[in-house]
Structure 1
Amino acid sequence: MPTLTDRQRVELAIPAYLLYALTSAPGVFVPADPTQAARAEADISAMRSDLKAACFAPLEDLSEKKKGALLRQVERITRGVIAGWKDRPALSVMLTLWYVLKDLTDREVLILWQGSAMERATSKLLPMFAHGFDEQKRDAAAQERARQLLAYLQTEGLYG
């Protein structure tokens, strides 16, 4: 990995951190077919492991002190975002995060390299919530919330 600035490291960690936080919440995933529960749980566990790895990957080459400081910055920035999820359905939050991720990848602020932990996680995640794009009102609301979230992150000096 090329030498990254602290800001770039935080920018790379935040999407994975937010997706990990959401997918780790109890009851977020319920398999459509109960007979597939064990397989679904294995897929979800692998996805969470990939998200965790994607969150820490930009910090791997840092000292423990520096790594801790940047993780605290990620946690500070995302704390309010996650608190805002309290009364929202997980599907709506997932759609919002997906639109944020889409914006970042479209602008090449974030590149999901084939075979990377983040790419593996998102390729597993999309089929689990793709049905949410079908409801036009929910989809439009998620796009608006994604714009608001990106605006907030930009006030934090990120994703300019």
Structure 2
Amino acid sequence: MPTLSDRQRVELAIPAYLLFALTSAPSAFVPADPNQAERAEADIAAMRVDLRAACYEPIEDLSEKKKGALLRRVERTARGVIAGWKDRATLSVMLTLWYFLKDLTDREVLILWEGSAMARATSRLLPMFAHGFDEQKRDSTAQEQARQLLRELQAEGLYG
């Protein structure tokens, strides 16, 4: 397996970090059926464990000093993205991140290996917000916002 550059490691960690941050928001996902609330909480907790693992996987083989430096870069980059979520609905942000992730996987910048932490997290995630694809205006807006997110990150030297 080829050695990853620092930039590649950051690129691999950012999607997991952003999804982790979104799932940390209070009431990020409210099940349509109130009787499913406990199940939804358990699914979100399991997904967050996988997202945390997916964030750390690209740097786990590095020294503690190097890990810290790359994590700070991921956090700094992600904070800029997250700041733009302030006035947006959770579903809108989730759709944007989904399209961003889809672009990365379509271009094979990110590969979701079967059984990997990120693959497990995304497989739990889709059923939680799939209803958002039904609204055409929201869906097309999310696609444009995903392209904008990619342009912002490319301006920082990522996802070239």
For normalisation by structure 2, the TM-score amounts to: 0.98
Amino acid at match of 2:26: P
Amino acid at match of 2:18: L
Whole-angstrom distance in 2 between the partners of 1:17 and 1:150: 15
What per-residue deviation string (whole Å, max 9, x for no partner) do you get for residues 36-62 of structure 1? 221111111000100000000001011
The two structures, once aligned, show a CA RMSD in angstroms of 0.8
Amino acid at match of 1:109: V
User: What is residue 78 of structure 1 aligned with on the other side?
Assistant: 78
Alignment of 1:114-153 (within 5 A): 114-153=114-153
Matched, 1:21 2:21: yes
Report deviation, 1:112.
0.3
Report deviation, 1:76.
1.1
User: What is residue 68 of structure 1 aligned with on the other side?
Assistant: 68
Whole-angstrom distance in 2 between the partners of 1:8 and 1:30: 34
Matched, 1:48 2:48: yes
What per-residue deviation string (whole Å, max 9, x for no partner) do you get for residues 67-103 of structure 1? 0100110111111110110110000000000000000
Whole-angstrom distance in 2 between the partners of 1:2 and 1:36: 44
Runs of 4+ in 1 over 6 A off after TM superposition: none
Whole-angstrom distance in 1 between the partners of 2:156 and 2:69: 16
Amino acid at match of 1:108: E
Report deviation, 1:121.
0.2
Larger mean CA deviation between 26-35 and 119-128 belongs to 26-35
Task: State how many pairs are aligned.
Answer: 160
Identity %: 83
Structure 2: unaligned runs, 5 residues or longer: none
Report deviation, 1:2.
3.9
Structure 1: unaligned runs, 5 residues or longer: none
Amino acid at match of 1:31: P
User: What is residue 110 of structure 2 aligned with on the other side?
Assistant: 110
What per-residue deviation string (whole Å, max 9, x for no partner) do you get for residues 134-156 of structure 1? 10111111011101000011111
Larger mean CA deviation between 120-129 and 2-11 belongs to 2-11
Whole-angstrom distance in 1 between the partners of 2:139 and 2:101: 15
User: What is residue 155 of structure 1 aligned with on the other side?
Assistant: 155
